[in-house]
Amino acid sequence: MELSEKVIECVPNFSEGCDSAIIDSIANAISQTKGCVLVDVDASSSTNRTVYTFFGTPESVVEGALNGALEASKHIDMKNHTGTHPRLGALDVCPFIPIKGVTMDDCVKCAQNFSEQLVKELDVPVYLYGHASKKEYRNTVPQIRSGQYENLPEKLKDEKWKPDYGPTKFVPFWGASIVGARDFLIAYNVNIMATKEQAHRIALNIRTTGRGPTQPGLLDKIQAVGWQEEKANVSQISVNVLDYNVTAVHVVFETCVEEAKKLKLAIAGSQVVGLVPLKVMLDAADYYMAKEDLFIVNEDQKLRLVIDRLGLNSLGQFNPQEKIIEYVVGSNKNGPLASMPLCDFVHSLGSRTPSPGGGSGSAAVAAIGAALSTMVGWMSFGKKKFEGLDSAMRTLIPPIYQVMVDLMPLVDADAKAFNMYMDALKLPKNTPEEKERHTEALQAGLTASINTPLKLIETVSRVWEPLTELAKLGNIQTKSDIQVGVRCLETGVWGAYYNILINLPDVKDEAYKEQVKTTSEEGLNMAKAKTEEISHILENREK
């Protein structure tokens, strides 16, 4: 999926989860908006609610959300709406979330722009929440939604609850919408073989607010409620993970398992609604690997482990390519150069164009060096002849493998930085303003052209200590492979250093120049010293 350098996620929740024709019509209105990519539609008949997840530029997500709302206004009538999920309006909640190349302020502007256009088109009340709200007493969705749709006519009479946008009159078919800007939230359901009441009992136990001020819940930054999922014939502990760095998804799952055991109830897997960051999955993998003393390095295998342990396929297939946000927006994938067949990449380097050049070549060579070194680790692990090394290899392989993975994106990053500088050279400079923009763009291009090789040096610096140990212990039959690998890594650092030197003189920020010079020289000196040390170790090894 190709998306802009500026990506915002929008996750509108509409109060319709039963009529597939209406659900599809809203989805089509969003997906047919230019610049919007609809990636998930999660409909629930029991909650009578559908969550749509789509991405786009700041401008396109506002238009996509508006198109979805306008389509919903043709079909949804809140006077007839019932469902187990709390709701305030036809478009109940519409958050804008920063994903790539944007700030929270950009998302606040999206929330404001969308609210203005929604009122212009439909003349309905709109409340702002999250980072878009300026009123502490109505900053969260539960605060604003208190009393729900049924209590909205009275709420609108209270000056304290005057909408941020739109009329104070009650609009029966629509209700009111809650629009905001927030950090990434994970909607996560844990399936339990129990009644709705038992599921809600566990939800009260785990959610941050618990049962009230005197009975707080077990987990921080967690909202939760219990309900019945009629289609699957299970109940669910429906959780909003407000900050997965505070409380991880796997912690939510394991806590639910423990609480269910106290009630002699069974957990039957779980479900991610919408998308989830890759870090959430890898953190869970680390947890289960440590808990079960497992040794897994490959990212795909780690994902398979988490999908199994959390039971993410219990109510439908969890496809990482469709459910993990980095995979969807392509921010974790190698670019076109690194994805080329080797023959094509070499020919691209040898063509009559300045890009790709030495920086991309240096990153590729260094990645090959880390790959060869990783291979030596694997050739020393899991073999009966070297079973005494298994424990050491479990420690040494992962950091070397990770350096290999982290070097690959730099192949394209270097070419991108060079092209950024060349584009800056072409900018007009006829007026003082144009000259200023030209200078700023040139400096930004130079900085990018320096930061990429600097990152290469810093990345390779992480490999020397485990590589030194690997040289002492690894399978002696792979001696030549690690010798080649070490020299490739050193060559990559030299190449990065030369690329820094050629760009550094034109940088105007003297403090930055001095810092880069110091860091790059330290990295180069380390590479030279460690290459000689490792080479000496290998040359003197006989077994």
What pLDDT digit, counting tens, does each position of 225-253 carry? Answer: 999 887 778 999 999 999 999 999 999 99
In this predicted model, what pLDDT tens digit does every residue of 356-398 receive, in sequence order?
Answer: 999 999 999 999 999 999 999 999 999 888 889 999 999 999 9
Which pLDDT value is given to residue 84? Answer: 86
DSSP string, 158-218: SGGG--SBS-SS--TTTB-EEEEE-S--EEEEEEEES-HHHHHHHHHHHSTTTTBTTB--S
Buried b (16+ CB within 10 A) or exposed e, 228-248: bbeebebbbbbbbbbebeebb
**Which residues are 215's β-sheet partners?**
212
DSSP string, 358-399: HHHHHHHHHHHHHHHHHHHHHTTSS-GGGGGGHHHHHHHHHH
Task: Tell me how far apart the alpha carbons of residues 82 and 64 are, in angstroms, rounded to a whole number.
Answer: 26
Task: Tell me how far apart the alpha carbons of residues 499 and 410 are, in angstroms, rounded to a whole number.
Answer: 13
Average pLDDT over residues 291-300: 96
Average pLDDT over residues 1-22: 86
Which pLDDT value is given to residue 336? Answer: 87
Higher pLDDT, 347 or 333: 347
List the one residue out of 420, 426, 389, 403 whose CA is nearest residue 492: 403
Average pLDDT over residues 477-495: 97
Which pLDDT value is given to residue 332? Answer: 62
Which pLDDT value is given to residue 6? Answer: 87
Q: What single letter denotes the amino acid at residue 185?
A: L
- Is the pLDDT at 543 greater than 80? The verdict is no
**Which residues are 54's β-sheet partners?**
10, 38
In this predicted model, what pLDDT tens digit does every residue of 169-187 receive, in sequence order?
Answer: 999 999 999 999 999 889 9
Average pLDDT over residues 421-450: 91
Cα atoms found within 13 Å of the Cα of residue 25, Cβ hemisphere only:
14
The tokens describing 417, both together, are 């930085």
Model's pTM, two decimal places? 0.79
Which pLDDT value is given to residue 5? Answer: 75
Q: What single letter denotes the amino acid at residue 158?
A: D
Which pLDDT value is given to residue 50? Answer: 96
Which pLDDT value is given to residue 140? Answer: 93
Residue 415 phi, psi (nearest 5): -65, -40
List the one residue out of 83, 84, 75, 33 whose CA is nearest residue 54: 33
Active-site annotation, residues: 85, 414
What is residue 242's three-state secondary structure?
A: coil
The tokens describing 344, both together, are 């094509």
Q: Which of 115-129, 340-354, 451-465 has the lowest mean pLDDT?
A: 340-354
**Which residues are 271's β-sheet partners?**
189
- Is the pLDDT at 53 greater than 60? The verdict is yes
Task: Tell me how far apart the alpha carbons of residues 537 and 468 are, in angstroms, rounded to a whole number.
Answer: 8
